[in-house]
Amino acid sequence: MNERAIAPGSAPAPGTVWFVGAGPGDPELITVKGRGLVERAGAILFAGSLVSETAVRWARPDCAIADSKGMTLEQMSAWLIAQAARCETVVRLQTGDPGLYGALIELVQPLDAAGVPIGVVPGVSSAMASAAAAVESLTLPEVTQTVIFTRVEGRTPMPEGESLEALAAHHSTLCIFLSITLMGKVTAALTAAGWSPDAPVVVVHKASWPGEEKIVRGTVATIQALCRDARIASQSMIIASPTLGARQWTTLAKSKLYDASFTHRFRRASVPAQTLRQDLP
């Protein structure tokens, strides 16, 4: 273990606690930096209810590993502080990205109060992994250039002005977290915001998890029943977007960046300017 030698009579400086995004599920989607920290950590606290245990497979044999799924916030903070007192590198391994729907600040504050240095390593969000699994783009020229990460109100209330209905009124891409058990509320909010019953919706369960990923495609009108039939009731990303299904469109607005008529600092236009919308073969 990477315990430090401490001179007699000296006060040990605490090690650093790193909040590492483990990514959406596939252990190979952790960043190179995140994996390096896991490999050299003296202690790892991982979110076992959401993070696959295979994510700690790179840990040293003598690394102290604990699962936080049965801990309170206070117990987690105490464990991290205690490990930082004896290890140079401590890792809190979180699902997805630590700064998105994670208890990052709630855990950082007690560490700050204890004088423990911290660092954060971002991770791949389940929103991105879900779009990748379904081979969908969250943005398209002239369709939508905006992506909203949100959730539907449940036990956690939404701040004023952030109801799903209000956000859905923008008719941009919605990546809806933590809401699969409230699908009825989701479809009701989309309907109230003016989305067509035929508007496409995709649900990805355990995006990127080897052997466990499920993709369900439907519409505002059908997606709830389809998810029920597929027995999907946890760990799922809901994507509602006017871009869904674009892979099959016969007409598509092309990006200006790669258009032969568009000049930028790396390339001069090679053909006269023309409409960017064209029919695909």
| Domain coordinates in residue numbering, the chain | 16-124, 127-248
Q: Say if residue 66's pLDDT is above 90.
A: yes
Q: Is the pLDDT of residue 281 over 50?
A: no
CB half-sphere exposure, 234, CA atoms < 13 A:
3
**In the predicted structure, residue 2 carries a pLDDT above the cut 60:** no
Nearest Cα to Cα of residue 26 among 37, 15, 35, 16: 35
Of residues 133, 138, 161, the one with CA closest to residue 148: 138
CA nearest to 76, candidates 44, 120, 52: 44
3-state SS of 192-232 is HCCCCCCCEEEEEECCCCCCCCEEEEEECCCHHHHHHHCCC
Q: According to the model, what pLDDT value does residue 201 have?
A: 98
pLDDT in tens, 137-155: 999 999 999 999 999 988 8
| C-beta atoms surrounding 249 within 10 Å | 13
Copy the structure tokens of residue 266: 């790396």
Q: How confident is the model at residue 62 (pLDDT cuts 50, 70, 90)?
A: very high
Alpha carbon distance 125, 99 (integer Å): 10
**What's the rounded Cα separation, in Å, for the pair 29 and 51?**
12
Alpha-carbon distance values, 15 to 7, 77, 202 (Å): 16, 14, 43
Query: What distance in Å separates the CA atoms of residue 54 and residue 50, rounded to the nearest whole number?
Result: 12
Reported pTM: 0.86
Q: Are 246 and 252 in contact (CB under 8 A)?
A: yes
- What's the distance, Cα to Cα, between the start and end of the chain in Å? 60
Q: Say if domain 127-248 classifies as CATH 3.30.950.10.
A: yes
Lowest mean pLDDT among 69-73, 123-127, 258-262: 258-262
Q: How far is the C-alpha of 219 from the C-alpha of 245, rounded, in Å?
A: 11
Phi, then psi, of 116 in degrees rounded to 5: -90, 125
| Cα distance between residue 54 and residue 30, in whole Å | 11
What is the pairing mode between strands 16-21 and 89-94?
parallel
Q: Is the pLDDT at 278 greater than 80, yes or no?
A: no
Q: What is the mean pLDDT of residues 217-221?
A: 98
pLDDT in tens, 171-191: 999 999 999 999 999 999 999
Q: Which CATH number fits domain 16-124: 3.60.15.10, 3.40.640.10, 3.40.1010.10, 3.40.50.300?
A: 3.40.1010.10
Neighbour tally for 94: CB within 10 Å: 28
Instruction: Show Cβ contacts of residue 66 under 8 Å, excluding neighbours closer than 6 positions.
Output: 43, 44, 45, 46, 79
Q: CA-CA distance, 69 to 46, in Å (whole number)?
A: 8
Residues in the chain: 281
Share of the chain above pLDDT 70, in %: 88
The answer to whether the beta carbons of residues 169 and 150 sit under 8 Å apart is: no
Which residues have CB under 8 Å from 10's CB, separation 6+? none
**Residue of 58, 29, 49, 30 lying closest to 208 (CA atoms):** 29
